[in-house]
Amino acid sequence: MNQNRSSNYDKYPVHQINGFDDHCCTGWECILPCIKSTIDPGTGVIVVECYQGVLMEVLVDALRHIHGFDLIDVSKLYKDPSEIRRMIQPELTDDAIFGKLTSLTIADYFDREKLTEARRQIAKSQDRKLIIVGTGATLVAEHWDILIYADMARWEVQTRMKANQVDNLGVINRDLAFNLQYKHGYFIDWRICDKVKIDLIDQLDFLLDTNDRHQPKMITGDALRGGLAQVAKRPFRLVPFFDPGPWGGQWMKEVCDLDRTTPNYAWCFDCVPEENSLFLNYGDVRIEIPSVDLIFDQPEQVLGQDIYEVLGPEFPIRFDFLDTMDGGNLSLQVHPSVEYIRGQFGMTYTQDESYYLLDADNGAIVYLGLREGVDSDQMITELKEAQETAKHFDAEKFVQTWPVKKHDHVHIPSGTVHCSGKNSMVLEISATPYIFTFKLWDWGRMGLDGKPRPINIEHGKEVIRWDRTTHWTEANLVNTIKEIASGDGWREEKTGLHSSEFIETRRHWFTGTVPHDTEGQLNVLNLVEGREVIVESPTGAFDPYVVHYAETFVVPAAVGAYTIRPHGESEGKECGTVKAYVRPERLRAVGENLWMMPQRKS
């Protein structure tokens, strides 16, 4: 067994925040008096803006205990659910997985007559003792005395969807299948809520952490922003999320110390800010927020000016795990070209990616690129026959397989047919439009819900690069590793990705101290070899930060110079990191694509 396969992986990374210990409340019995005490006696408008997924029944019931205040539930001011469904349908579409990123705003959800009347009643109210609560509460109030944001971690929203506890924005659909609720959230609700949050995050008086329905927590807006400013100046980790799947394996159970009774774990989102949480400790109070809050509040500090100017507050790099050890093959799949994803889904860049092999058993393979001489019409015909008749699809007749071993790195530019085979542990490094995977074949298996997983041959056939065959793939995509620098106790290798891709990766092997510099741009790293290393500032700008095997960590652009060296059990042993950053020339290309995008409504 690999020496690294005993766990020191931290599943709950927490970031200690200094200077705000007295800015926290835990439980409604503390939160409600705190809110009321902030309002001048006899007057006040309290606005509680909400993310989709907040348990509104619980929140409204609690707020009614602030005596003497009338409460306005802004969802009562929305258009009729049937009208909202018609409004969103062009962007939601009838596809089981894919929609278009919405151009709607929260203002589009309101019935204009109801909204006008509510504002009139608020304006003429003499005592102004009001609580206005819901998504779009700030639009209704226009002016307020206290602004509270009831926030939600994205994975908790999904957990509530799976439990049929929440509806999508403006409709009643909590009994809908999870994949359809998730799609609605991804393309519509979360885009709308994020637009609101971006506008308000610098104005919040309080943030309400509603992830635990029984034990909510609240911090002041100053504490939130102060904490985020501290995190943005030092290396940090997100809270990983692990999930089973039909092809899942057993490696992460051991290395990441997960529940051994769960049949498998397929995925780990180890650095997907749109999905992961961030834990902030204020004294002994732990606050959980969506990690995108950090990007919304500190975009230039985390991303760097160049990325922020092109993409806005969007984190462009994804690290995640795909575990097929003692499991099965991933689905055979392909990702869209930039032109296709822009035209069909409204995205500005696509999911270029790569597989870095953290581990592999004997006989491990990846499916990558097509064989020489493949007949495209025949392949598509046989894929459709397999999907429609449950006939076996002979993947190896059309798709080239490559043996892989630990520390191999294969590149997967968009348009390249691919999948990881069984008995591999993949660190997937990619750009972040992660939902846009076109499955071509899923080996005839069912999902964990016992239903067939959606297949996307019609999308896939439009983007497959039929010229990416064996000889080209071998020369361009498999282990194109080159040493480019070295120093005292370290060497640096360029490991990818392909020149057409968005992201550059560098691997460092070291027994000594490795100098790094963000050069004003976001860095994302993973410790791919060694028990633990320590990340330090040459100038003491941040406290030393210890990272363990297989942990992904973020170094914000604002950090500048930093070093990494072996630590603890790894002292005197060779360690390895993989670092990813956005290629400046590809970023410029994305910026040029933005000029070709249709203009969205403001």
Q: Is residue 520 part of a domain?
A: yes
Is residue 76 domain-resident?
yes
- Is 471 in the same domain as 487? no
| Token couple for 97 | 């997985």
Q: Are 541 and 460 in a shared domain?
A: no
Distance between CA atoms of residues 229 and 298, nearest Å: 7
Q: How far is C-alpha 170 from the geometric centre of its chain's CA atoms?
A: 24
Residue with token string 């606050």: 287
Contact indicator for 367, 397 with CB cutoff of 8 Å: no
At position 549, the amino acid (one-letter code) is Y
pLDDT at 2: 45
Q: What is the distance between the alpha carbons of residues 507 and 526, in angstroms, rounded to a whole number?
A: 10
Burial of 215 per CB tally in 10 Å (0-12, 13-18, 19+):
exposed
- Domain termination residue (choose one: 426, 446, 476): 476
Chain-centre distance of CA 220, in angstroms?
A: 25
Looking at the fold, whether 543 and 583 belong to one and the same domain comes out as yes
Q: 536 lies in a domain?
A: yes
Sequence-distant (≥ 6) Cβ neighbours of residue 588 within 8 angstroms: 310
Q: Which domain holds residue 559?
A: 482-594
The CA-to-CA distance between both ends of the chain, in Å, stands at 56
Q: Do 405 and 530 fall into the same domain?
A: no
CA triple 522-532-425, angle to 5 deg: 75
How far is it between the farthest Cα atoms of the chain? 80
Burial class (CB in 10 A: 0-12, 13-18, 19+), 370: buried
Q: How many residues does the chain have?
A: 602
Residue 599 domain-assigned (yes or no): no
- Do residues 64 and 110 share a domain? yes
In a domain, 19, yes or no: no
Query: Residue 408: which H helix or E strand, with range?
Result: none
Q: Say which residues have a Cβ less than 8 Å from residue 384's Cβ, sequence separation at least 6.
A: 457
Residue 14 lies in a domain: no
Burial (0-12, 13-18, 19+ Cβ within 10 Å), 187: buried
CB 416 within 8 A of CB 334: yes
Looking at the structure, tell me whether residues 527 and 467 fall in a common domain.
no
The amino acid at 582: V
- Are 247 and 158 within one domain? no
Please report, for the domain that includes residue 40, its CATH number.
Answer: 3.40.50.300
Query: 164 with 96, same domain?
Result: yes
Do the domain assignments include residue 234?
no
Domain end residue (candidates: 429, 451, 476): 476
User: What is the DSSP track for 37-90?
Assistant: HHSPTT-EEEEEEE-TT--HHHHHHHHTTSTT-EEEEGGGGBPPHHHHHHHHHH
The strand order across the sheet containing 503-510 reads 482-487, 490-496, 503-510, 575-582, 523-529, 552-555
Domain closes at, from 215, 230, 263: 215
Number of domains composing the chain:
3
The C-alpha atoms of residue 138 and residue 200 are separated, in whole angstroms, by 9
Q: Which residues contact 212 (CB under 8 A, 6 or more apart)?
A: none
pLDDT at 601: 36
Q: Are residues 149 and 46 in the same domain?
A: yes
Same domain, 56 and 71: yes
pLDDT value of residue 599 = 41
Provide the token pair at 545: 């930060």
Q: Using alpha carbons only, how large is the chain's radius of gyration in Å?
A: 25
DSSP β-ladder status, 277-282 and 14-17: parallel
- 524 φ, ψ (degrees, to nearest 5): -125, 130
- Same domain, residue pair 439 and 413: yes
Please report, for the domain that includes residue 490, its CATH number. Answer: 2.60.120.10
**Residue tagged 């994205």 (tokens):** 154
**pLDDT < 50 positions in the chain:** 1-4, 595-602
User: Could you give the CA distance from residue 199 to residue 361 in angstroms, rounded to a whole number?
Assistant: 49
Handedness of CA 430, 431, 433, 436 (dihedral sign): negative
Provide the whole-model pTM: 0.93
CA 591 to the chain's CA centroid: 22
Confirm whether 159 is domain-assigned.
yes
* One domain, residues 471 and 538: no
